[in-house]
């Protein structure tokens, strides 16, 4: 079949953006799979905290993911690589709950899924130009819009007075899951800085995403504004590959002409050749895109409605404009209710097209869960995690793109221990048996000659120290409460009961 070819202007092609996005997505998967390869055998392996897979299976999945990510980074058969990476990460996400249940895990799945349609089968100039200039970049545009807009809209719809009053950032740097040492300095900025930061954050999350679908200049501003916000978040906290992934989603907004200007590259004398698709191919592409955008829009609407419903009991949520409440009621009654079963249920279970809502309710107090062990039931010592706050003299660390999943989950466990009881009990049991799973992700107890026979969970209220204090500590902490003492036998019995319950399910 003959294929016609046409030349296009650089400001209407996205070949450079596609190439950069493809390679950056490969790098992100490299970071994700290498981190999982180290952590998953300890978390869900044969002798892990919640054993659900053999170590061999995990090594094969992570090793194959690492190899495929390398191929994608090198630009080898991009679309098959993206398909395989999506399948591998989806498989790990389904078996590794709750350890792969974070929003950036679902964002990586959705980004990889939409990239399948935008990346070419082969890394040839004609294929790159044809697919890069096709309609499927709109899928990635809408994903970035959904992520950012929902992050802002849910903050206001949640009824959280801290976002309404623009004081949320005065708490954020101290109460975020894994702060770093820069967070200490940011926390002590004047209050007007936190207010200004809250305004800028809401503007970038609510107004700027609408520019994605505007003219070329506004689209570029939207990309650069989002990149700036992601850089600031990365500098002041530890969120693994989330910021890098969001930055990657900004690249499809930038056309070749702008990127050449940004990278100081000279414009090519001839514009890239684009193969013109047949009418039925164009129709099929647009039909698929409309279907994907429709499903993605449903998840966006559902997230807005869910946030509004969850917050209706809060006094500040009653101040939501009537037209917003009525509009969401209409969407729930006429759009979501008929589709809730089975379509939306199937979408949620697939973990591939999702809703988002980052920090919709700001945590105002930092409570830390400290695990303590004892050999005799009288003398207690605290287990130190590698990354989460523990000893008050230890400075918060910068982790870069590494994501310590157990340390992150400990932040959620401090907020809701009952909701995380299964893996907490299993972790405590491993500590009493001194298994490799107990020590691999925690700092070693150098003076411990025999494993503890007793474990307890102690809750502390943590605050950053103030500038000028004589102490060299980074944190102040006050004991709040403690759990019952668990003996080794009690932990063994509850662990066995939980395992049997999971098998029966």
Name residues whose C-beta falls within 8 Å of residue 454's C-beta, 6 or more positions apart in sequence. 373, 374, 375, 377, 432, 485, 486, 487, 488
Quick: pLDDT tens for 68-78: 999 999 999 99
CA–CA separation, 127 vs 272, rounded Å?
11
Question: In a 3-state reduction of DSSP, which class is residue 151?
Answer: helix
Q: Is the dihedral of CA 469, 462, 386, 449 positive or negative?
A: positive
Please say whether the beta carbons of 238 and 180 come within 8 A: yes
Whether the Cβ atoms of residue 416 and residue 395 lie closer than 8 Å to each other: no
Average the pLDDT over each of 92-101, 136-145, 435-444 and give the range with the smallest value.
435-444
Give the Cα separation of 32 and 245 in Å (integer): 11
pTM, two decimal places: 0.91
In this prediction, what percent of the chain has a pLDDT beyond 70? 85
The contacts of residue 234 (CB under 8 Å, 6+ apart) are: 243, 244
Mean pLDDT (whole number) for 358-381:
93
Strand partners, 461: 367, 478
The residue written with tokens 């070949």 in the block is: 15
Provide CB contacts within 8 A for 438, sequence distance 6+: 427, 430, 431
Q: What integer pLDDT is reported at residue 449 of this predicted model? A: 80
Position 97 confidence tier, pLDDT thresholds 50, 70, 90: confident
Q: Is the pLDDT of residue 336 over 90?
A: no
CA distances to 170, 218, 226, 230, 276 from 164, rounded to whole Å, are 13, 27, 21, 22, 50
pLDDT for position 315: 57
φ, ψ for residue 278, nearest 5 deg: -70, 165
Separation of alpha carbons 222 and 220, rounded Å? 5
pLDDT, one tens digit per residue, over 185-211 is 999 999 999 999 999 999 999 999 999
Give 117's strand partners.
none
Asked whether the predicted pLDDT for residue 323 surpasses 60, the reply is: no
**Cα gap 171→160, rounded to integer Å:** 13
**Per-residue pLDDT band at 3 (split at 50, 70, 90):** very low
Mean pLDDT, residues 393-421 taken together? 92
Residue 502 contacts by C-beta under 8 Å, 6 or more apart in sequence?
none
Residue 124 predicted with pLDDT over 70: no
DSSP 366: E
Report pLDDT for 348.
Answer: 75
Angstrom distance (rounded) from CA 402 to CA 388:
13
């Amino acid at each position: 079949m003959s294929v016609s070819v046409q030349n296009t202007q650089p400001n209407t092609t996205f070949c450079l953006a596609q190439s950069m996005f493809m390679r950056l997505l490969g790098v992100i998967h490299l970071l994700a799979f290498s981190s999982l390869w180290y952590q998953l055998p300890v978390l869900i392996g044969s002798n892990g905290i919640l054993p659900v897979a053999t170590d061999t299976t995990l090594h094969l999945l992570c090793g194959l993911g690492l190899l495929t990510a390398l191929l994608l980074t090198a630009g080898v058969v991009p679309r098959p690589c993206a398909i395989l990476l999506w399948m591998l990460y989806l498989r790990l996400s389904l078996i590794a709950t709750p350890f792969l249940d974070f929003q950036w895990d679902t964002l990586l799945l959705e980004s990889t899924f939409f990239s399948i349609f935008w990346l070419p089968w082969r890394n040839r100039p004609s294929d790159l130009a044809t697919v890069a200039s096709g309609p499927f970049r709109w899928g990635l545009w809408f994903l970035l819009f959904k992520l950012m807009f929902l992050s802002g809209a849910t903050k206001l719809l949640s009824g959280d007075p801290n976002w309404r009053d623009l004081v949320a950032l005065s708490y954020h740097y101290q109460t975020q899951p894994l702060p770093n040492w820069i967070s200490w300095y940011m926390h002590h900025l004047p209050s007007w800085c936190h207010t200004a930061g809250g305004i800028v954050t809401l503007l970038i999350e609510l107004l700027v995403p609408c520019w994605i679908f505007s003219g070329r200049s506004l689209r570029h501003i939207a990309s650069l504004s989002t990149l700036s916000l992601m850089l600031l978040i990365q500098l002041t906290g530890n969120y693994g590959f989330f910021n890098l992934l969001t930055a990657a989603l900004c690249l499809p907004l930038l056309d070749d002409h702008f990127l050449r200007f940004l990278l100081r590259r000279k414009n090519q004398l001839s514009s890239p050749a684009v193969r013109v698709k047949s009418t039925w191919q164009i129709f099929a592409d647009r039909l698929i895109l409309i279907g994907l955008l429709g499903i993605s829009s449903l998840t966006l609407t559902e997230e807005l409605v869910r946030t509004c419903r969850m917050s209706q009991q809060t006094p500040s949520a009653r101040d939501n404009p009537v037209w917003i409440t009525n509009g969401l009621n209409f969407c729930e009654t006429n759009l979501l209710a008929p589709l809730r079963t089975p379509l939306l249920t199937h979408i949620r279970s697939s973990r591939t097209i999702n809703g988002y809502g980052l920090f919709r309710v700001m945590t105002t107090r930092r409570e830390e869960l400290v695990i303590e062990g004892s050999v005799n039931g009288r003398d207690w010592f605290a287990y130190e995690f590698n990354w989460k706050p523990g000893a008050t003299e230890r400075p918060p660390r910068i982790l870069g793109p590494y994501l310590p999943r157990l340390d992150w989950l400990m932040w959620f466990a401090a907020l809701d221990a009952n909701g995380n009881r299964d893996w907490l009990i299993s972790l405590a049991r491993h500590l009493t048996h001194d298994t490799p799973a107990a020590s691999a992700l925690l700092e070693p107890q150098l003076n411990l000659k025999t494993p503890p026979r007793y474990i307890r969970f102690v809750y502390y209220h943590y605050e950053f120290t103030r500038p000028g204090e004589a102490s060299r500590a980074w944190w102040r902490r006050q004991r709040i409460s403690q759990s019952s003492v668990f003996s080794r036998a009690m932990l063994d019995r509850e662990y066995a009961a939980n395992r049997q319950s999971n098998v029966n399910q």
